[in-house]
Amino acid sequence: MALPATMKVLGLVLGIGIIVFVAILTELSVSMLLRFSKAAGSTSYGGVMGRAFGIGGRKLLQVCVLINNVGLLVVYMIIIGKSTCDVLSGTSSSGVRHAGVLQGWFGEHWWNERVFVILLTTLFVFCPLCCLKRIDSLRFTSGVAVALAVVFLVIIAGMTIFKVVEGSIAMPRLLPDVTDINSVWQLFTVVPVIVTAYVCHFNVHSIDNELDDDSSIQPIVQTSLLVCCMIYVMTSLFGFLLFGDSTLEDVLANFDTDLGIPYGSLLNDIVRVSYALHLMLVFPVLFHPLRINLDGLLFPSAGPLVLSKRRFLLVTMGMIFVVYLGANFIPNIWDVFQFSGATAAVCLGFIFPSAIALRDVHGIATKKDKVLSVFMICLAVFANMVAIYSDIQALFKKNALPRQRHLTWGYK
């Protein structure tokens, strides 16, 4: 839901181009990771990292999975809750109040405040789904999640087309607004957001292990990435066309106003509720690798997690509690995306697979693999170092502004 906001920075042409480009790089990196995993006889991402770089490499991977997935799950809870992501309870963004669905229907009460909404969702949705031990058990809920995403996309596309035909949508920005060197660096701040959307490498081995025919994993990955790319492009396109420069960091927060279309209020509610349900069903899919990697980090010499009921419940409930706390104390999904995307996500998606290929402990790397690996590492490091620098610079400016105002008022 942060992708439409990236179009404000990049413009439609460059923004959509980068979404497609990152999808292609992701397919290449996953394909390379699977090929080197089979050569190493590894059935997990951590296993192939361990073969290439020893225990240190395996633990570094596990830490990155923790950072990336905890960040994403916190974002999901924030969106479902109240902060800047206005879905079920409500939110305030830039000083403007955005009423959520429940508050719009019933008014403001203690039971539809952020903390309580997230608590109920955690107890009655996340806990039962996250207690399923096999990722294959989530195939039905994953199918429903995709269907809900399609519902969201169809409605937002219909709204946008109606507004275009009506002539009430202004010409969108096609290219970034570059005025000085700082505006150039600002372009890189959206890269972590787009990268985070595609990182799926930590789930590929789990899915592969549960397939009867392991040769089918490659077509599954390619089809999934194609579907994701189409959804991301259409969401970014229609979301930015619909709201233009008023697009918020989470576009769902924009769906609390009268858009001037028939049944607009009903459609707004359907959009927000359908996407909230979608996130609820996707949550356990991301939680599965988080639990496995945390267990491997804390109990490296223990047996399989699924065989220890006590350890399974301890790790599961402990991580859900940590994510719940994070969702109640972190106000902004953009901050989470930029931090996890510029650090853990880029490592999981591009740097680690490339490093495995360059290490080439089994001697199967081709010249193409090595050239591609060097390219991905250099691109990832450069883009995300600039993004981190720009984010830190923006943070200092944001903190300096209230201080300047305070000094000005004190002087007066």
Tens of pLDDT along 285-309?
889 989 988 998 888 888 788 788 8
- pLDDT over threshold 60, residue 213: yes
In angstroms, the CA 99 to CA 149 distance is 22
Split at pLDDT 50, 70, 90, the class of 172 is confident
**Cβ-contact 242, 156 below 8 angstroms:** yes
Q: Note the Cα 241 to chain centre separation in Å.
A: 22
pLDDT given for residue 82 in this prediction: 55
> At residue 241, what is the residue type?
L
Q: Quick one: which of 60, 114, 67 has its CA closest to 91? A: 114
**Token output for 132:** 């399923």
Three-class secondary structure of residue 264 per DSSP: helix
Residue burial 14-48, b: 16+ Cβ < 10 Å; e: rest: bbbebbeebbebbbbbbbbbbbbbbbbebebbbbb
Q: Quick one: which of 354, 315, 374 has its CA closest to 48? A: 354
If you average pLDDT over residues 160-174, what whole number do you get? 85
If you average pLDDT over residues 50-58, what whole number do you get? 92
In angstroms, the CA 65 to CA 33 distance is 16
- pLDDT over threshold 50, residue 252: yes
Please state, for a pLDDT cut of 70, what percent of the chain lies above it: 84
In angstroms, the CA 98 to CA 113 distance is 13
- pLDDT over threshold 60, residue 412: no
Q: Which domain holds residue 283?
A: 3-411
Split at pLDDT 50, 70, 90, the class of 32 is very high
DSSP 8-state class, residue 205: H
Of the ranges 77-91, 162-176, 392-406, which is most confident? 162-176
In angstroms, the CA 102 to CA 90 distance is 8
- pLDDT over threshold 90, residue 233: yes
In angstroms, the CA 177 to CA 97 distance is 29
Of the ranges 10-19, 165-174, 325-334, which is most confident? 10-19
Question: Hey, which residues does 92 pair with through a beta bridge?
Answer: 97
Among positive and negative, which fits the CA dihedral 209, 214, 216, 222?
Answer: positive
DSSP 8-state class, residue 90: E
pLDDT given for residue 197 in this prediction: 87
Tens-digit pLDDT profile for residues 197-206: 898 888 898 8
**Token output for 286:** 């991301």
pLDDT given for residue 108 in this prediction: 66
Q: What is the CATH number of the domain that holds 205?
A: 1.20.1740.10
Tens-digit pLDDT profile for residues 323-379: 998 888 776 665 666 666 667 888 999 999 999 999 988 889 999 999 999 999 998
The angle formed by the CA atoms of residues 241, 342 and 337, to the nearest 5 degrees, is 50
In angstroms, the CA 200 to CA 294 distance is 17
Three-class secondary structure of residue 269 per DSSP: helix
- pLDDT over threshold 70, residue 271: yes
Q: Quick one: which of 84, 341, 405, 53 has its CA closest to 195? A: 341
- pLDDT over threshold 60, residue 99: no
Q: Quick one: which of 77, 86, 69 has its CA closest to 115? A: 77
**Cβ-contact 284, 126 below 8 angstroms:** yes
Q: What is the CA radius of gyration of the chain?
A: 22
Strands (E), 96-152: 96-99
Split at pLDDT 50, 70, 90, the class of 184 is confident
pLDDT given for residue 409 in this prediction: 44
Q: Quick one: which of 17, 362, 14, 399 has its CA closest to 186? A: 14
**Token output for 400:** 């300096």
Split at pLDDT 50, 70, 90, the class of 24 is very high
More confident residue, 191 or 310: 310
Split at pLDDT 50, 70, 90, the class of 128 is very high
β-bridge pairing 96-99 and 90-93: antiparallel
Split at pLDDT 50, 70, 90, the class of 316 is very high
If you average pLDDT over residues 224-238, what whole number do you get? 91
Q: What is the mean pLDDT of the chain?
A: 82
Torsion-angle region of 274 (φ positive above 0: left; ψ -120 to 50: alpha; else: beta): alpha
Number of domains in the chain: 1
If you average pLDDT over residues 220-241, what whole number do you get? 91
Split at pLDDT 50, 70, 90, the class of 26 is very high
Q: Note the Cα 377 to chain centre separation in Å.
A: 21
pLDDT given for residue 92 in this prediction: 45
If you average pLDDT over residues 154-171, what whole number do you get? 88
